[in-house]
Amino acid sequence: MFEYTSLITLIALAAILAYSFYAVLLAGQLSLAQLGLASLAVFTSSLVVPDDPLFGFIPPLVVGIVFGMLVGMIAAFILGLPLMRLRGVFLAIATLAFAEMVRIFLINQSWTNGAQGLSYPKLVGPGIAWSALVIVAFGFWRLSGSRLGRAFDAIREDELAATSMGINVARHRMLSFVIAGAISGLYGVLLGYFTRFADPNEFSFTAAVDGLVTAVVGGVVFFIGPVLGGLFLTVLPELQRTFGVEASWIRPLISGVLLLVVILFIPGGLAGLIPRRKSASKLITDPTLMPSLPGLPKRGTPLVSLRGLSKSYGGVTAVRVVDLDLGAGEVLGLIGPNGAGKTTLVNMVTGLTFQSAGTGEVLGNALTGRTKAHALAQAGVARTFQQIKLFGRLSALENVLVGSYRISRGTLLRRLIFLPSARRDERQTVAMASAQLARVGLADKAATPAGDLSYGDQRRLEIARALAAHPTLLVLDEPAAGMNRVEAGRLAALIRSLGTDGIGILVIEHNVRMMLETCDRIIVLNFGEVIASGAPADIARDPAVLEAYLGSDATASDEAVTRLAVQDLTATARLAETSRPRPEEKQ
Amino acid sequence: MQQLMDGIFLGSIYALFAVGYTLVFGVLDRLNLAHAAVFSAGALVGIEVVTRSGLSIWLAVPIVMVVGALLGLIIERVAFRPLNGRHDAHFAGLISSIALGAIIIALLQARYGPDTTRFPPEVFPKKRFEFLGATVSLLQVLILIISVGLVVLLTWLVAKSKLGRGMRTIAENPHAASVLGINVNRVTSVTFAISSALGAAAGVLFTLNVNTAQLGIGHAVELKGLAVIIVGGLGSLPGALVGGVVLGLAEVYAVNYVGSSWRDMVAFGLLFLILVVRPQGLFGARKKREV
């Protein structure tokens, strides 16, 4: 009987350890510091935990748990300060080095009794361990689907895209790291007061690998994963013992083979086998549920003003002394041959790149070396990317929901106590996202993973995601690439209607015909310099533009072709002038 | 002087182990955590070959390298290739190689048992010389020569040979490499085979040097190997050699000045510091992300 209660407790402890890995994996990070944090927590708690209830009513174990979690969080925070800029395997190895340093440090201290270890009173049984596990699991259950949970999803899938949605990636990564620290501290204290013993060498690399394996085998896509992983990996050796598998090498062999099978053939981990309802696949089309949005600036309000902006990489000047102004409700086109510096310019406007010279102001924020892309996004800049950056594994609707990060409020804390206002907020966010999906014509594909959409659909989904932020300034980098004529035509109509709504739009595009039909004003870049700027009709007649597009030889050697091209451009321009109502006239 | 020599010899063994790690990482961008199991296998198989058949160590090492290469092929085929194209290939590769490493260790335990074994004492001439006031053994000199030789050979191979060009192309972009007519699977397999052959040879030399081997020796070197490749720069072969020597020297001096119980603190402290200050390592190149 004793053996079973101990087994049951060990399952809970393994699952709690796995949650400390789950917390970082959720945000796409791999940390191996958890065991170091856990051992710091359990050894320092031995210094403060009283024998009798504190103030006569707080049980010693509660003191230990709270203290241990605090130690874990604080240590994780301090460790995170220098390490959070590392990624992938570098972060894993740096955190592993930290855990090993803690282990060696503790072994060499007298207050920890060195490698002999410390004894603890037995305060933890299956009841307490499982209660702790349920609380942790509950937290992660409520996290998924909250605004914070979606931010973690976004960071895991694509950090750059998450930044451009206004998510402070550094802060969120640190947050997930500190959460992992708290759970590690909890694990350490529970383990010490369950096994009645702690030895620094128990908190080794092997133990960290076990925790990671438990988390990955359980699956990191669904909050129940760590529990399943803990169950699987704790019960497996016991089952073998029950079935009389005794040879000491057979057990690790079977465990190894099963682990290999799970990781190779069940990609989502054990939790991936559980059929579940997709939380975010249904649209909400009820217009009364739309959130009340702040109004956009008055038409013509200056949004972007660049003065003498330049960017050089080493000896190459990508953008040279560019002046640019964009007002609310204006559609400004940026055209130019490949390599003209268009994307570099746009990256400076959205805070991803810092200019080498010149000044710029975007939505009242001066562009400086300290301008953060997520801060500009919070101020109202939304963008799409030349190389599509969607969250490939999330559904189309979930992608757009991340876009609403800027205009929604955090819901996790309210979700934890099931406040109805959290649900209302979430339904409003879904309604907002649904409206954007419908606007770009993807309403029927809401549940499709973004990565499975066609190229043109992905372009439109990126626009919907940007629109869900209710932007003041929208930057589109080659939105029509890969679209056919009909699709491009629809896109042009959409862009014009967004301008009519009052959004300032900066659009890069190679489809000159579409640009002439769509934009209020066009700036032409070549070799980083502005070679022309003005109304579409003037641009189409500008000899410098024609030369940039057709080459200087074209005029001399093949006049007929040039004339044809000019005719084509000017004809389109005339068409644009006559067929398109100017926004000013409409007002 | 003695310490300097000892540090360099210790470091050259670390380097030999780490070269295998870094070769796979440089090409595939993945850590092969079964490498430590290959190291253990090399040591134990080497001992068996020498004690059972009485072959000289000079023949045993090539045999062990062949065994290592075969293990490498198995690791690539079982733990890494099935993950191609999976979005979580990075994490999954870590776990699947851990699992396969555990399987290899379990099989070694089945064959050799958990006990400590060693090479027969007469297997290697115990010749020693005086050199600049320090005593060095023939074995240590040999280890150094083999390590440096292999690193030079591999660096040449990667830089100049057709195989090396294939490796570098795949490292840059596996998809583009296959479009260019490079047999990605074959080059990857060969890379794993070379890497594991070196890991197994390192196991033999390490065991000769410390004169004892058991299942867990690979594990002890595993973390050191990680430190070495980070210090030297992930994916850089000369970096692995320099990193190994730096770590070896640091450890030898640490034992002398702060005591053996703090020895590993030096390795991990160095690792931590390098990652904070210069994550690309001494010889690595930093990769830039594109917009």
Q: Which residue has the higher pLDDT, B210 or A232?
A: A232
Yes or no: say if A165 and A406 are a contact pair by the CB < 8 Å rule.
yes
The pLDDT assigned to A578 comes to: 46
The pLDDT assigned to A60 comes to: 87
- Give the nearest partner residue to B103 out of A83, A257, A352, using CB atoms: A257
- The CATH number for A302-586, chosen from 3.40.50.300, 3.40.50.2300, 3.30.1180.20, 3.40.50.1220, is 3.40.50.300
Q: DSSP letter string over A66-128? A: HHHHHHHHHHHHHHHHHHTT--HHHHHHHHHHHHHHHHHHHHT-TTTTGGG-EE------HHH
Closest CA to A582 of A504, A538, A517: A517
In chain B, what residues touch A259 (CB-CB under 8 Å)?
Answer: 95, 98-99, 102
Say yes or no for a CB contact (<8 Å) between A205 and B223.
yes
The pLDDT assigned to A560 comes to: 46
- What's the gap in Å between the CA of A54 and the closest CA on chain B? 37
- Give the nearest partner residue to A101 out of B95, B107, B272, using CB atoms: B272
* Distance of alpha carbon A222 from alpha carbon A227, whole angstroms: 10
Q: Which residue has the higher pLDDT, B213 or B39?
A: B39
**Number of domains present in the structure of chain B:** 1
In chain A, what residues touch B96 (CB-CB under 8 Å)?
Answer: 260, 263-264
Interface A-B, measured as beta-carbon pairs within 8 A, has a size of 125
Yes or no: say if A11 and A235 are a contact pair by the CB < 8 Å rule.
yes
Number of H helices, E strands in chain A: 24, 12
Residue B20 within any structural domain of the chain: yes
In chain A, what residues touch B265 (CB-CB under 8 Å)?
Answer: 101, 104-105
* Distance of alpha carbon A16 from alpha carbon A227, whole angstroms: 8
- Give the nearest partner residue to A264 out of B82, B230, B261, using CB atoms: B82
User: Would you mind telling me the total number of residues written for chain B in this entry?
Assistant: 291
In chain B, what residues touch A264 (CB-CB under 8 Å)?
Answer: 82-83, 92, 96
CA max distance for chain A = 98
Which residues touch B280 (CB under 8 Å, ≥6 apart)?
Answer: B233, B234, B286
Say yes or no for a CB contact (<8 Å) between A249 and B91.
no
Q: Closest chain A residue to B261 measured between Cα atoms?
A: A108
Closest CA to A350 of A332, A336, A342, A362: A362
The CA radius of gyration of chain A, in Å to the nearest whole number, is 29
Say yes or no for a CB contact (<8 Å) between B99 and A212.
no
Residue B62 within any structural domain of the chain: yes
Q: How far apart are the first and last CA of chain A?
A: 82
Q: Which residue has the higher pLDDT, B122 or A270?
A: A270
One digit per residue, the tens of pLDDT, for chain A of length 587 reads 457 888 999 999 999 999 999 999 999 888 999 999 999 999 999 888 877 777 777 888 999 999 999 999 999 999 999 998 888 888 988 999 999 999 999 998 888 887 788 888 888 888 999 999 999 999 999 998 899 999 999 999 899 999 999 999 999 999 999 999 999 999 999 999 999 888 898 898 888 888 988 998 888 878 899 999 999 888 888 887 777 766 677 878 888 888 898 888 887 788 888 776 555 567 787 777 888 888 889 998 999 999 999 999 888 889 999 999 999 999 999 998 888 889 999 999 999 999 999 999 999 999 998 889 999 999 999 999 999 999 988 899 999 999 999 988 888 888 888 888 888 888 899 999 999 999 999 999 998 989 899 988 999 999 999 999 999 999 999 999 888 888 899 999 999 999 999 999 999 998 888 898 899 999 999 888 999 899 998 888 888 888 877 665 444 444 444 444 555 555 555 444 444 444 443 33
User: Which residues in A158-233 belong to E strands, given as ranges?
Assistant: 197-198
The pLDDT assigned to A565 comes to: 53
ipTM above 0.90, yes or no: no
The pLDDT assigned to A77 comes to: 97
Which residues touch A460 (CB under 8 Å, ≥6 apart)?
Answer: A440, A441, A442, A491
Residue B67 within any structural domain of the chain: yes
Q: Is B133 helix (H, G, I), strand (E, B) or coil?
A: coil
Q: Which helix (H) or strand (E) holds A506?
A: strand A504-508
CA B284 to each of CA A538, B236, B268: distance values in angstroms, whole numbers, following the listed order: 52, 6, 19
At B19-71, the pLDDT tens digits run: 888 888 877 778 899 999 999 999 999 999 888 888 888 888 899 999 999 99
Say yes or no for a CB contact (<8 Å) between B95 and A252.
no
Yes or no: say if A343 and A386 are a contact pair by the CB < 8 Å rule.
yes
Domain with B212, as residue range(s), is: 11-218
Say yes or no for a CB contact (<8 Å) between A104 and B261.
yes
Say yes or no for a CB contact (<8 Å) between A252 and B82.
no
Q: Closest chain A residue to B259 measured between Cα atoms?
A: A108
Query: Which 3-state string (H, E, C) describes A348-370?
Result: HHCCCCCCCEEEEEECCEECCCC
Quick one: tokens of A269?
A: 């981990």
Q: How far apart are the first and last CA of chain B?
A: 52
Q: Closest chain A residue to B80 measured between Cα atoms?
A: A264
Task: State the amino acid at position A403 in one-letter form.
Answer: G
The pLDDT assigned to A73 comes to: 97
In chain B, what residues touch A251 (CB-CB under 8 Å)?
Answer: 106
3-state helix, strand, coil in chain A (%, to 5): 60, 10, 30
The pLDDT assigned to A277 comes to: 57
The pLDDT assigned to B171 comes to: 81
Quick one: tokens of A493?
A: 């109509």
Domain locations in chain A as residue ranges: 2-204, 302-586
- What's the gap in Å between the CA of A124 and the closest CA on chain B? 31
The pLDDT assigned to B291 comes to: 41
* Distance of alpha carbon B101 from alpha carbon B39, whole angstroms: 10
In chain B, what residues touch A250 (CB-CB under 8 Å)?
Answer: 106, 110
B272: pLDDT strictly greater than 80:
yes
∠ CA(B132), CA(B137), CA(B140), 5° rounding? Answer: 100
Q: Closest chain A residue to B224 measured between Cα atoms?
A: A97
Q: Which residue has the higher pLDDT, B247 or A267?
A: B247
Give Cα A542 to chain centroid, integer Å. 43
CA A438 to each of CA A373, A471, A483: distance values in angstroms, whole numbers, following the listed order: 28, 17, 18
Residue B234 within any structural domain of the chain: no
* Distance of alpha carbon A93 from alpha carbon A82, whole angstroms: 14
